[in-house]
Amino acid sequence: MLGVVVLVGWYTHNPDLIQVNPAFVPMQYNTALGFLLAGMGLLATGTAYPRIAILTGSITFLIGIATLVEYVAQIDLHIDQLLMEHYINVKTSHPGRMAPNTALCFSLSGLAILVAIFFNSFKKTPEIVGILGVIIIGLGVVAFTGYFSGMETAYGWGQLTKMAIHTALGFMVLGIGFFSYAWHIESQLINGKPKWLAVPIGIVSMTVTLAFWQAMVA
């Protein structure tokens, strides 16, 4: 729903749907598209529609990875404004390009969907999906908290595009979705709490701690 609302905002030129505040970072078009695809992929995974999950998961993963490649290799793959010419570029280093931490979260989201589909018979699959989910939650929490603490480096890396506040909130919800899915699958297998619960808790704690530490150092 978040992805759909922001996509409508881009097509109708409604800044209120794209930005929470005129001074805040807009949610890029590709970010909204990523949320739509990742949400569909998670729902398809949970309701046993593997073909839809594979398609949406693969596209979500590729969008995230391709954007990270653009940042790391300092190249333009011409995907940032492929479907929409951007007209709001507040705190945006490249018009239409999602933030690197956003791209990382979508890469993890797409990976979680593909792992859940292709390796659904492995015992470790719920644990892996749960861990990916809590990492996404951690990155979203850090960015979301950064807006309220006034720590810009918490939701943006260097001079690159920043993560929008509603993007951060979306990743928190999406990450909870992946973790809930993993918990549900594991509980069906063992009829109780997952034995691996301590692992994602430790990982999300480390993720949040390291991210805030880097933000404070910056």
86-98 burial, b at 16+ Cβ within 10 Å, e below that, comes to bebebbbbbebbb
Which percentage of the chain shows pLDDT scores above 70?
96
Read off the tokens for 109.
């989201």
Q: What are phi and psi of 162, to 5 degrees?
A: -90, 160
Read off the tokens for 4.
């759909």
Domain holding 190, by residue range, is 2-217
Which pLDDT score, from 0 to 100, does residue 160 have?
Answer: 78
Which pLDDT score, from 0 to 100, does residue 59 have?
Answer: 97
Over 90: is that where the pLDDT of 65 sits? yes
Over 70: is that where the pLDDT of 190 sits? no
Stronger pLDDT, 67 or 194, i.e. the higher one? 67
Which pLDDT score, from 0 to 100, does residue 185 have?
Answer: 85
Overall domain count for the chain: 1
- On whether the CB atoms of residues 37 and 60 are closer than 8 A, the answer is yes
Which pLDDT score, from 0 to 100, does residue 192 have?
Answer: 65
Q: Which of 73, 92, 75, 74 is nearest to 30 (CA)?
A: 92
Mean pLDDT of the chain: 88
CA distance 74 to 100: 12
Over 90: is that where the pLDDT of 207 sits? no
214 — pLDDT class (breaks 50, 70, 90): confident
Read off the tokens for 59.
């596209």
Q: Which of 160, 155, 125, 133 is nearest to 142 (CA)?
A: 155
Of 56-70, 88-102, 196-210, least confident by mean pLDDT is: 196-210
Angle at 179 between CA 201 and CA 7, to 5 degrees: 125
Over 90: is that where the pLDDT of 168 sits? yes
Which pLDDT score, from 0 to 100, does residue 111 have?
Answer: 97
pLDDT digits (tens, 9 = 90+) for 129-151: 999 999 999 889 888 888 877 77
Over 70: is that where the pLDDT of 218 sits? no
pLDDT digits (tens, 9 = 90+) for 92-134: 888 899 999 999 999 999 999 999 999 988 888 988 999 999 9
CA distance 20 to 175: 21
41-60 burial, b at 16+ Cβ within 10 Å, e below that, comes to bbebbbeebeeebbbbbbbb
